[in-house]
Structure 1
Amino acid sequence: MSYVVLARKYRPKTFTEMVGQEHVVQALSNALTQQRLHHAYLFTGTRGVGKTTVSRLLAKSLNCQGPDGQGGITAAPCGVCQACVDIDSGRFVDYTELDAASNRGVDEVQSLLEQAVYKPVQGRFKVFMIDEVHMLTGHAFNAMLKTLEEPPEYLKFVLATTDPQKVPVTVLSRCLQFNLRPMAPETVQEHLVRVLAAEGVPAEAPALRLLSRAARGSMRDGLSLADQAIAFGAGKLEEAAVRQMLGSVDRSHVFRLIDALAQGDGKTVVEVSDALRLHGLSAASTLEEMSAVLQRMAVIQAVPSAADMTDPEGAEIARLAQAMPADETQLLYSMCLHGRAELGLAPDEYAALTMVLLRLLAFKPGSAVRHGDQQEKKTLIEARATERAPPVASQVASPLPAQVAPLQAPAPARTAVPAVGAPPGRVLPVVEPAPARPAQRPPVPSNGRPGSEVVGVPVRQQAESFRENPASALTLVPTEEGDFWYATVSDLVAREAIMALVRELGLQSQLVGRDEGHWMLRVERESLNQPASRERLQNALLAAGHAVKLSVEVGTVTDSPARRNAAAAAEKQRAAEEIILADPFVQDMMRDFGAKIVPGSIKPVSSK
């Protein structure tokens, strides 16, 4: 006797044997039990989820005669009567399956509909099953519309498709639609365990886990891969053999890669990439496995209780979730998805894989601290450290351009005092600590060395917003430096001197301090603080006549060009709403007829 593949041998014979489609089984079972039968059904879903199987089960339920030949419509077909046996074997005369992928013309559909005028020969109902119905031509759809809407009482239509978007709405409106969902990997694995146990095939749990993930939601694909794995493993399923057959990447390589990315270890990343090439493992599979692990990490970071410690890999994934910040996890996940699409564009997929991994490392948030801005960050740290220095008689700004004095809250105006030894015409304001907040501005020596000569440089400073006040991040606090920065950035944007990320850096940043040759910007998101964007903005300023060096820090922003634009837009919106509400006609409509203005329907008209 010839061998029957697992996907056909274990095709469900009753609704109770259906796996993973409980919502469809429940609806059809209740309809059959209550005799509330529709004349046309449409089953949608990806390949291998049971569309054809449900169609055959429905035909059996409608035509089952029972073991004694006296049965009626039932949700539990007997499977032994002549109708059930013939439908299972594919030779029931009143059940017709039409493959629309190869019979898509109007002639084939008309030939099928010609049989509709004849009553069933053997069963209770005629059932026309059209598979991949979206492949029919427009004329074929039009030919079946009238019969589909008002078929004879003994005729039932069952349509199946993997792409319901291509089915005309005139057909959809005439059908009762059921969406069969893709199978979860756990559901596929549980079914494989039962099937292989019935077959007497020994199988390792990790091997079944690999097969269930490779099935990608299709039970038929899972059973077909199990058939292939049994042949590959000579009658048994072992993890190493299945992994070799699928070309899957060992999760240990993936864990090592993610751990190296979390630590910023580029050497380990390149070593693992070379090891993947040496073992001939799939580059696309590597990125897919990384995406799957990163997705589970993101879930654990958002919901710590979601960690599944019963999974052998659960503890390692939970550890990586704690080692990597949530924003980095999201960034790596996005880059893995996009990187997989780029593998086919490179002449060597392993070189492309290495580039994707190095890109993950290069765009790691905060990588600038490790790769090239040590000196800049160090000076900023030193500048902030002056806030904790012990008070002295007075404080002046450092003559070094890179050392910008930390910014504080607004203080009452004081008389500017020339610094000792300042060059003619160059006066540096000396600010004494405010009596009410002595701890806010502790003065420090100019350079830490007593008795040294101090050279004054004209410095402009503005107050730093209090970070402990969250509401300050939502309001606009106009400043003198903000006026200058808004005009500068607006000019660069109008001339298209800055684009994309550089434009966002300029619009989202706040100018908090500037002296000769050095400007300090502040942004709220670390992702904007990238060396390349900062250098391009600096070059654009140089072309505009500002030969300065830019430094960027992360903090609360209260006055940026973007905030000013948003405030101006909000003011225009408010003015437009006031004009509409003050209109006499609008007031009459609201008073006499209870009219209401639809939220969001009022838009200000830009004047040109």
Structure 2
Amino acid sequence: MSYLVLARKYRPRNFAEMVGQEHVVRALTNALTQQRLHHAYMFTGTRGIGKTTVSRILAKSLNCVGADGLGGITAQPCGVCAACTAIDGGRFTDYIELDAASNRGVDEVQGLLEQAVYKPVQGRFKVFMIDEVHMLTNTAFNAMLKTLEEPPEYLKFVLATTDPQKVPVTVLSRCLQFNLRPMAPETIQTHLAQVLQAETIAAEPQALRLIAGAARGSMRDALSLTDQAIAFGSGSLQEAAVRQMLGSADRSHVLALIDALARADGRTVVQVSEQLRLQGLSATSTLLEMAAVLQRMAVLQAVLDAESAAGDADPDAAVLARLAQAMPADETQLLYSICLHGMDELGLAPDEYSALTMVLLRLLAFKPAGAAAEKKKLTTPEEALSAPVPVPGPEPVAQAPIVEQTRAPLRLPVRSDTNFVQKPLPAPEEQAPTAIETIEISVHEVPQEAALEAARATVADAQWSPTEEGAFWHALVQELVGQQKISALTRELALQSQLVARDGKHWHLRVDNASLNQATVRERLCTALQDAGQADAISVEMGQVSDSPARRNAQAAAAQQAQAEAIVRNDPQVQQLMRDFGAKIVPGSVRLA
């Protein structure tokens, strides 16, 4: 007799045998008991958690006739009647499974729907089960919409998918949806222990824990890994053999890494990482195991204590409790986050073990320094008040110290003719009632507004050098712009160019921006000049421009700005405020309306 793998041998035959999907089992059981049956069901969830199994159990519940042949719809199929045994054996004519991954076209769906017009041959209901339904084409979905919405009373649809986001909402709205959840590692471990006990196979609890974690919520994957582990271990499951098979790091390595990181022992971290490389253990599984251990440590730090952890069934519970006390909670959270994000970096590095080492050392790079380490810190206000502030002498005035804002508790106003600095407070026994004493030192400052005005005048003079043709060209361009005869790049060419010479009706221009010297732009400017009765042809050369309409406009704007600032600065009320209260005119605050 051929061997039957565990995933098929121990496939649930009824709802009572289902593991980890109590919410789905309860809803379907109540619906079957109360005869509140929907015409279309959809089961969603990741691989290996029971979507197809639930579909077959539902089909048996709808068609079971009981051991005596007189039964009806039931939530507990007998498993011995003709309908139940035929469905389990895949021989039931009225239960049709369609794999949409390989039969995704409209022709396959239409062939299935053609059978919907015929009543059941063997059972009470026809059941159409479409697996991986999200793989169907849009045309195939459209072909089944009408039948899916209003099927015959003897027809039930069961759809299963691992990606419900790809199923059209028009299909989802016609189905009763059930989301099957990934199973907890503890649930998988308990079920594996029962299966191995039935198979009379010895297994260590830690070996089952490793398999349950590697299954990632899939019972089918867990049973497949168990089959592989039985073959690898010659009929028994031992932790060392399962670790070797999975390529996962030993818990002792992980605990050693976390202990070294807690002690900021970089040498040990590198040595353990090298041992993992020499043993050929998976870097990904190492980070996964570390994340699991750190998660338990974080729980211990938050809600438990060492005494309650000592009674844990985990043999490493005492070590975890010690590490939870040795590593601060913020470092635990940081290392947990680094482990999770580090798994994405393993595939980017040329060597996953070097990437693993870098991920582990990252915590040491961001680890807060100890109390004995030298740290840079800001001076507190009390330290700033107690620290002596040197008072500069009258010469040289330019070397007068400036009190930093981060260290000084107070900022005193600075007038244009005087400068205030803090003086050291007297000794505690000689302290006066006033908190801070100030002295006044005369300095000579150039008013900032005057300096800005001089800078503007210098820049304007440097950029603008009037020429003979400049005034004429500026007036003409301003007229064309005002009349909207030129726009966009044509306007920019006229504003940025300099009229070098006029040879009758042929004018020579110069521009320093190559992007403006384009044939189409030149033609548009020439057309505008022709319409204005000025020039019939123009030529544009590249070179330095010293007198253009744009620079004349900038010079005029600078002069107007300087005049406006002078009016504000010479206002008697403004001068009184500056003299009595040390007020200043904020640079750039005076703007032309």
**TM-score range relative to shorter protein:** 0.5 to 0.7
**TM-score calculated relative to the size of structure 1:** 0.64
- Specify whether residues 206 and 376 from structure 1 end up closer, same or farther in structure 2 by C-alpha distance, changes over 3 A only: closer
Distance 1:385 1:398, change over 3 A: farther
Give the distance between the partners of 2:333 and 2:387, measured in 1 at CA: 45
Please name the residue that 2:388 is paired with: 396
- Report deviation, 1:80: 0.4
The question of 1:344 aligning with 2:338 is answered: no
**What is the SS of the residue equivalent to 1:13?**
coil
Q: Secondary structure at the match of 1:259?
A: helix
Closer/same/farther in 2, CA of residues 363 and 207 from structure 1, 3 Å limit:
same
Of residues 430, 433, 443, the one that matches 2:424 is 430
Matched, 1:317 2:309: no
The alpha-carbon deviation at position 76 of structure 1 amounts to 0.3
SS in 2 for 1:269: helix
For 1:198, the equivalent position in structure 2 comes to 198
Q: Distance in 1 between matches of 2:215 and 2:133?
A: 24
Aligned to 1:333: 336
Give the Cα separation in 1 of the matches to 2:83 and 2:361. Answer: 62
Identity of aligned residues (%): 73
CA-CA distance at 1:300 after TM superposition: 2.7
1:554-565 equivalences in 2 (<5 Å): none
- Distance in 2 between residues matched to 1:170 and 1:80, nearest whole Å: 39
Query: What is residue 174 of structure 1 aligned with on the other side?
Result: 174
| Maintained 8 Å contact 1:204/1:237 | yes
Alpha-carbon shift at residue 177 of structure 1 (Å): 0.3
1:476-496 C-alpha deviation (Å, 9 max, x unpaired):
xxxxxxxxxxxxxxxxxxxxx
**How far did residue 285 of structure 1 move?**
1.1
Letter in 2 for 1:300: L
Q: Distance in 2 between matches of 1:299 and 1:376?
A: 31
Paired position in structure 2 for 1:273:
273
Compared CA separation, residues 278 and 134, structure 1 to 2 (3 A)? same
Counterpart residue type for residue 298 of structure 2: A
2:14–2:57: 8 Å Cα contact kept in structure 1?
yes
> Contact conserved, 2:277 with 2:353, CA < 8 A, in 1?
yes
Tell me which structure has the larger Cα radius of gyration.
Answer: 2
Q: How far is the alpha carbon of 1:302 from its aligned partner?
A: 2.9
AA partner of residue 270 (structure 2) = V
The within-5 A match list for 1:118-157 is 118-157=118-157
Q: 1:227 Cα deviation (Å)?
A: 0.4
- 3-state SS in 2 of match to 1:277: helix
CA–CA distance in 1 between the matches of 2:74 and 2:382?
84
Deviation at 1:316, TM superposition (A): 2.1
What is the TM-score when the length of structure 2 is the normalising length? 0.65
Q: Which amino acid aligns with 1:76?
A: Q
Task: Output the amino acid matched with 2:328.
Answer: P
Which residue is 1:51 aligned to?
51
- Secondary structure at the counterpart of residue 346 of structure 2: helix
* CA deviation after TM superposition for structure 1 residue 339, in Å: 1.4
Q: Describe how 1:202-241 pairs up with structure 2 within 5 A.
A: 202-241=202-241
**Cα separation, 1, equivalents of 2:173 and 2:68:** 39
> Cα deviation per residue 1:91-114 (whole Å; 9 max; x = unaligned)?
100000000000000000000000
Q: Secondary structure at the residue paired with 2:49?
A: coil
Which is worse superposed, 266-275 or 301-310?
301-310
Match of 1:285 in 2: 285
Q: 2:227 and 2:357 mapped to 1: Cα distance?
A: 34
Name stretches of at least 5 consecutive residues in structure 2 with no aligned partner. Answer: 392-400, 413-418, 442-593
Asked if structure 2 preserves the Cα contact closer than 8 Å seen for 1:105 and 1:137, the reply is yes
Q: Partners of 2:77 and 2:218 in 1: how far apart?
A: 25
The answer to whether the Cα contact below 8 Å between 1:397 and 1:404 also exists between their aligned partners in 2 is no
| Shift in Å, 1:398 | 8.2
Deviates more, 1:187-196 or 1:328-337: 328-337
What is the aligned partner in structure 1 of residue 454 from structure 2?
A: none
- When residues 127 and 398 of structure 1 are mapped into structure 2, their CA distance, relative to the original with a 3 A threshold, is farther
Please list every run of at least 4 consecutive aligned residues from structure 1 whose deviation after the TM superposition is greater than 3 angstroms.
305-308, 374-377, 383-387, 403-411, 425-428, 432-435
Partner AA of 1:21 in structure 2:
Q
| Residue identity matched to 2:238 | E
SS in 2 for 1:344: coil
Partners of 2:390 and 2:130 in 1: CA distance:
82
Partner residue, 1:115: 115
d(CA) in 2 for partners of 1:302, 1:97: 50
Q: Deviations over 1:588-607 (max 9, x none)?
A: xxxxxxxxxxxxxxxxxxxx
Answering whether residue 94 of structure 2 is matched by residue 102 of structure 1, we say no
Give yes or no for contact 1:397–1:405 (8 Å, CA) kept in 2. no
2:425 corresponds to which letter in structure 1?
V
Contact 2:380 2:407 (C-alpha < 8 Å) held by counterparts: no
Between the aligned partners of 1:21 and 1:433, the Cα distance in structure 2 is 78
Could you say what secondary structure the match of 1:28 adopts?
Answer: helix
1:317 positional shift:
2.2
Distance in 1, matches of 2:208 and 2:185, equals 10
- What's the counterpart of residue 248 of structure 1? 248
Q: What residue identity is the alignment partner of 2:19?
A: V
CA contact (8 A) 2:390 2:423 kept: no
CA contact (8 A) 2:254 2:286 kept: yes
Over 3 Å counting, the alpha-carbon distance change for 1:103 and 1:433 in structure 2 is farther
3-state SS of paired residue (2:295): helix
In 2, Cα distance between equivalents of 1:214 and 1:335: 21
Deviation string, structure 1 residues 349-368 (Cα, Å, up to 9, x no partner)? 1111111112222122348x
Q: CA deviation at 1:304?
A: 2.5
Instruction: Give the CA deviation at 1:163.
Output: 0.6
Unaligned runs of 5+ in 1: 414-424, 442-455, 459-608
SS at match of 2:96: strand
Q: Is the 8 A contact 1:398 1:404 kept in 2?
A: no
Q: By how many angstroms is 1:294 displaced?
A: 1.7
CA contact (8 A) 2:381 2:409 kept: no
Contact persistence 1:395–1:432 (CA under 8 A)? no
SS in 2 for 1:201: coil
Shift, 1:301, TM fit: 2.6
Q: Report matched runs for 1:399-548 at 5 Å.
A: 428-432=422-426
Distance 1:63 1:338 in 2: 50
Deviation at 1:311, TM superposition (A): 1.8
Cα 1:96–1:274, aligned 2, differ >3 Å: closer, same or farther? same
RMSD: 3.3
Structure 1 residues 44 and 405: alpha-carbon distance in aligned structure 2, compared to 1, 3 A threshold? closer
Contact 2:381 2:408 in 1 (8 A): no
Question: 1-side partners of 2:182 and 2:428: how far apart?
Answer: 67
- AA matched with 1:168: P
Matched AA of 2:102: S
**What corresponds to 2:184 in structure 1?**
184
Tell me the CA shift for residue 292 of structure 1: 1.5
Q: What is the match of residue 564 of structure 2?
A: none
For these two proteins, the number of residue pairs brought into alignment is 417
Query: What is the Cα deviation at residue 280 of structure 1?
Result: 1.1
1:170-227 Cα deviation digits (max 9, x unpaired): 0000000000010100000000010000000001111111111011000000000000
Compute the displacement of 1:386 (Å). Answer: 9.1
Cα distance, 1:375 vs. partner? 4.8
Alignment-mate amino acid for residue 320 of structure 2: I
Q: 1:276 to 1:429 in 2, by over 3 A?
A: same
Structure 2 CA distance for aligned equivalents of residues 169 and 4 of structure 1: 40
Aligned-partner Cα distance in 1 for 2:316–2:3: 37
Q: Which residue of 2 aligns with 1:31?
A: 31
User: 1:417 maps to what in 2?
Assistant: none
State the secondary structure of the residue aligned to 1:345: coil
